Amino acid sequence: MNWDPDSCSYGHKRPFDDAQPPNIPEEFRKFVQDAIQVSHEFLEQSMGVANAVEKLPSMSPDICLVNFYGTSGKLGLHQDKDETKASLDKGLPVVSFSIGETAEFLYGDVRDVDKASKIDLESGDNHTVSAKMKALSMPGLILAVYVYLPSNAPPTVF
Protein backbone atom coordinates (compact mmCIF):
# COMPACT_ATOMS: atom_id res chain seq x y z
CA MET A 1 0.00 0.00 0.00
CA ASN A 2 1.07 3.57 -0.56
CA TRP A 3 0.17 6.62 1.55
CA ASP A 4 -0.67 9.66 -0.55
CA PRO A 5 -0.27 12.82 1.57
CA ASP A 6 -2.15 14.91 -1.01
CA SER A 7 -5.35 12.84 -0.77
CA CYS A 8 -4.68 11.66 2.82
CA SER A 9 -5.46 8.09 1.80
CA TYR A 10 -3.87 4.71 1.07
CA GLY A 11 -3.80 3.26 -2.43
CA HIS A 12 -2.30 0.35 -4.35
CA LYS A 13 -0.31 2.64 -6.68
CA ARG A 14 1.89 5.67 -6.18
CA PRO A 15 0.16 8.72 -7.68
CA PHE A 16 3.34 10.33 -9.02
CA ASP A 17 4.36 7.41 -11.29
CA ASP A 18 1.42 4.94 -11.13
CA ALA A 19 3.82 2.20 -9.91
CA GLN A 20 3.14 -0.30 -7.14
CA PRO A 21 5.11 0.44 -3.99
CA PRO A 22 7.96 -2.01 -3.34
CA ASN A 23 7.48 -4.96 -1.00
CA ILE A 24 8.62 -4.52 2.58
CA PRO A 25 12.15 -5.97 2.85
CA GLU A 26 12.40 -9.24 4.78
CA GLU A 27 14.95 -7.67 7.14
CA PHE A 28 12.41 -5.02 8.11
CA ARG A 29 9.75 -7.66 8.74
CA LYS A 30 12.23 -9.34 11.10
CA PHE A 31 12.89 -6.00 12.88
CA VAL A 32 9.14 -5.60 13.43
CA GLN A 33 8.69 -9.15 14.71
CA ASP A 34 11.68 -8.72 17.06
CA ALA A 35 10.29 -5.40 18.35
CA ILE A 36 6.91 -6.99 19.09
CA GLN A 37 8.60 -9.90 20.88
CA VAL A 38 10.62 -7.50 23.05
CA SER A 39 7.41 -5.57 23.77
CA HIS A 40 5.70 -8.82 24.85
CA GLU A 41 8.58 -9.57 27.22
CA PHE A 42 8.46 -6.04 28.66
CA LEU A 43 4.69 -6.15 29.17
CA GLU A 44 4.87 -9.52 30.90
CA GLN A 45 8.03 -9.02 32.99
CA SER A 46 7.93 -5.31 33.83
CA MET A 47 4.23 -4.51 33.68
CA GLY A 48 2.80 -7.82 34.95
CA VAL A 49 0.56 -8.34 31.91
CA ALA A 50 -0.57 -11.98 31.97
CA ASN A 51 -0.99 -12.50 28.21
CA ALA A 52 0.79 -9.77 26.28
CA VAL A 53 -0.17 -11.28 22.91
CA GLU A 54 -3.82 -10.40 23.61
CA LYS A 55 -2.86 -6.76 24.24
CA LEU A 56 -0.30 -6.54 21.45
CA PRO A 57 -0.94 -9.10 18.69
CA SER A 58 1.94 -10.51 16.68
CA MET A 59 1.82 -9.65 13.01
CA SER A 60 3.79 -9.35 9.82
CA PRO A 61 3.72 -5.79 8.44
CA ASP A 62 1.93 -5.03 5.20
CA ILE A 63 2.35 -1.25 5.28
CA CYS A 64 5.54 0.69 5.90
CA LEU A 65 5.57 4.46 6.23
CA VAL A 66 8.94 6.19 6.19
CA ASN A 67 9.11 9.63 7.76
CA PHE A 68 12.62 11.06 7.59
CA TYR A 69 13.38 14.06 9.77
CA GLY A 70 16.54 16.05 9.20
CA THR A 71 17.71 18.96 11.29
CA SER A 72 14.61 21.07 10.63
CA GLY A 73 11.84 18.49 10.17
CA LYS A 74 8.85 17.99 12.42
CA LEU A 75 5.37 16.56 12.39
CA GLY A 76 2.80 18.72 14.16
CA LEU A 77 0.12 17.55 16.56
CA HIS A 78 -2.23 15.19 14.74
CA GLN A 79 -4.37 12.07 15.12
CA ASP A 80 -3.85 8.88 13.12
CA LYS A 81 -7.35 8.19 11.85
CA ASP A 82 -6.67 6.25 8.67
CA GLU A 83 -6.58 2.72 10.05
CA THR A 84 -9.38 0.51 8.81
CA LYS A 85 -12.02 -0.82 11.19
CA ALA A 86 -10.70 -4.33 10.51
CA SER A 87 -7.19 -3.23 11.51
CA LEU A 88 -8.44 -1.53 14.67
CA ASP A 89 -10.61 -4.56 15.56
CA LYS A 90 -7.53 -6.81 15.29
CA GLY A 91 -5.51 -4.45 17.47
CA LEU A 92 -2.65 -4.49 15.00
CA PRO A 93 0.31 -2.57 16.37
CA VAL A 94 2.02 0.48 14.99
CA VAL A 95 5.76 -0.21 15.10
CA SER A 96 8.00 2.80 14.68
CA PHE A 97 11.78 2.91 14.20
CA SER A 98 13.62 6.21 14.55
CA ILE A 99 16.39 7.00 12.08
CA GLY A 100 18.21 10.31 11.96
CA GLU A 101 18.25 13.10 14.50
CA THR A 102 17.01 12.67 18.05
CA ALA A 103 13.38 13.74 18.14
CA GLU A 104 11.02 14.67 20.91
CA PHE A 105 7.90 12.51 20.52
CA LEU A 106 4.81 14.09 22.05
CA TYR A 107 1.55 12.36 22.87
CA GLY A 108 -1.58 13.19 24.82
CA ASP A 109 -5.33 13.63 24.58
CA VAL A 110 -5.50 17.37 23.85
CA ARG A 111 -3.95 19.57 21.17
CA ASP A 112 -1.64 21.38 23.56
CA VAL A 113 2.12 20.93 23.25
CA ASP A 114 2.64 22.11 26.83
CA LYS A 115 0.29 19.44 28.24
CA ALA A 116 1.65 16.56 26.13
CA SER A 117 3.79 13.77 27.55
CA LYS A 118 7.23 13.65 25.92
CA ILE A 119 9.89 11.05 25.26
CA ASP A 120 13.16 11.33 23.34
CA LEU A 121 13.52 8.98 20.39
CA GLU A 122 17.13 8.55 19.25
CA SER A 123 18.31 7.04 15.99
CA GLY A 124 17.80 3.29 16.34
CA ASP A 125 15.02 3.52 18.95
CA ASN A 126 11.80 1.58 18.57
CA HIS A 127 8.34 2.68 19.73
CA THR A 128 5.51 0.13 19.54
CA VAL A 129 1.82 0.81 20.22
CA SER A 130 -1.05 -1.60 19.74
CA ALA A 131 -4.03 -0.06 17.96
CA LYS A 132 -6.24 -1.86 20.51
CA MET A 133 -4.26 -0.41 23.42
CA LYS A 134 -4.41 3.03 21.81
CA ALA A 135 -8.17 2.80 21.37
CA LEU A 136 -8.77 1.52 24.91
CA SER A 137 -6.40 3.78 26.81
CA MET A 138 -6.54 6.97 24.82
CA PRO A 139 -9.13 7.03 22.01
CA GLY A 140 -8.33 10.67 21.24
CA LEU A 141 -4.56 10.08 21.08
CA ILE A 142 -2.78 13.07 19.58
CA LEU A 143 0.83 12.71 18.40
CA ALA A 144 3.65 14.99 17.30
CA VAL A 145 7.33 14.75 16.45
CA TYR A 146 9.71 17.65 17.04
CA VAL A 147 13.38 17.47 16.13
CA TYR A 148 15.33 19.32 18.76
CA LEU A 149 18.89 17.98 18.96
CA PRO A 150 20.38 18.57 15.51
CA SER A 151 23.68 17.10 14.40
CA ASN A 152 23.60 14.04 16.64
CA ALA A 153 22.51 11.44 14.08
CA PRO A 154 25.00 8.76 13.08
CA PRO A 155 27.08 10.15 10.17
CA THR A 156 26.06 7.24 7.92
CA VAL A 157 22.41 8.35 8.05
CA PHE A 158 22.99 11.56 6.08
Residues 6+ apart with CB under 8 A from 17: none
Residue 120 marked ligand-binding = no
| Helix (H) or strand (E) run with residue 132 in it | helix 131-137
Instruction: Indicate if the alpha-carbon torsion angle 55, 58, 61, 62 is positive or negative.
Output: negative
The Cβ-side half-sphere exposure at 45, using a 13 Å CA radius, reads: 6
109 is an annotated ligand-binding site residue:
no
Give the separation between CA 133 and CA 136, rounded to whole angstroms.
Answer: 5
**Residue 103 neighbours by CB distance under 10 Å:** 24
Q: List, in order, residues 6 or more apart from 23 with CB less than 8 Å away.
A: none
Annotated binding site for Fe cation: 78, 80
Q: Summarize the annotated binding site as residue ranges.
A: 78, 80
